[in-house]
Amino acid sequence: MNSSLVNVVIYADHNNFTDGRSGYGIQKITVHHCAGVMSAESIGYLWQNPSRECSSHYGIGNDGRIGQYVDEYDTAWTDSNWVSNCTSVTIETSNCACGGDWPVSDEALNSLINLCADISIRNGLGYLVPGANLTWHSMYAATTCPGDYLRARMQYIADRANEIIGGGGGHKIAEDGLWGVDTTRKAQEVFGTPVDGVVSKQMSWVGNQNPGLLDSTFEWLDYMAGGSLLIAAIQRKVGVSDDGYIGPDTISAMQRWLGTPVDGVASNPSVMVQAFQHWLNQQ
């Protein structure tokens, strides 16, 4: 399975990648920079050198054109980390100037966003979260790659890609009973609160008692800092005080509203969260 966004295919020398994924599945994207101003072709020519011992699945030239060098079902040697290579689709991105914060052209950045969204959609990675399923080279090795310019824009890349992944509403989320980033984003769309994939400023003791509310999307704090606009909107919907903090009362009210057993706890997985996801998908 490869991207239809590709402009040019230049297969890497077989000395520079491994067939298959060694039993692993694709779990994430890893972003790199070229440390140079390059084209989709010139990146590919690097990986054709049989003594290079390096490759990437994709490369983006300074003009935004996209090259493919290794098939996604094979393992490119890009991340300086074997397990990371086996679980990642990797992208080399041309710089538009050398040195400094290693800037990238707007054309290359836009192609990177489109390619990240496409990889996520075809591989079922869901919404992209920097540091989780949208990663970068310096997470895995002592390197400055992908440079400060791209590193500072990971949330922007994720947000723009997630707009494509979400398709501007009407998309379905998994009904798996686990309240993660997808559920938060969908709920934020439905309830009309800012869509950032985060349930802000919640109390950590609630997180400890409710394993179905995932750490990837709930911001757990040890002090009260104002709560979440989304939780307040849900509380108004289910008829409890809209203080913005999820807890046993709000979970019980959601369980009553959704017609699931009322115990005030979101388990892992949770029948209530599953019903909530189902309801969100009907909106």
Q: Which of residues 28-67 bind Zn ion (CB under 5 A)?
A: 32
Q: Which is nearer to Zn ion, 145 or 251 (CB)?
A: 145
Q: Is 86 in the site for Zn ion (CB under 5 A)?
A: no
Picking from 181, 179, 133, 180, the residue whose alpha carbon sits closest to that of residue 157 is 133
Q: Is 145 in the site for Zn ion (CB under 5 A)?
A: yes
Q: Is 151 in the site for Zn ion (CB under 5 A)?
A: no
The answer to whether residues 150 and 104 touch, using CB atoms and an 8 Å cutoff, is yes
Q: Is 160 in the site for Zn ion (CB under 5 A)?
A: no
Q: Which residues contact 119 (CB under 8 A, 6 or more apart)?
A: 3, 29, 72, 89, 125
Q: Which is nearer to Zn ion, 34 or 165 (CB)?
A: 34
Classified as helix, coil or strand, 282 is helix
Q: Which is nearer to Zn ion, 77 or 218 (CB)?
A: 77
CB of 164 to Zn ion, least distance (A): 24
Amino acid at 266: A
Give the C-alpha separation, 81 to 117, whole Å.
24
Interface residue with Zn ion among 28, 57, 65, 137 (CB under 5 A) is 137
Q: Which is nearer to Zn ion, 88 or 274 (CB)?
A: 88
The answer to whether residues 120 and 27 touch, using CB atoms and an 8 Å cutoff, is no
How many residues sit in the footprint of Zn ion (CB under 5 A)? 3
Q: Which residues bind Zn ion (CB under 5 A)?
A: 32, 137, 145
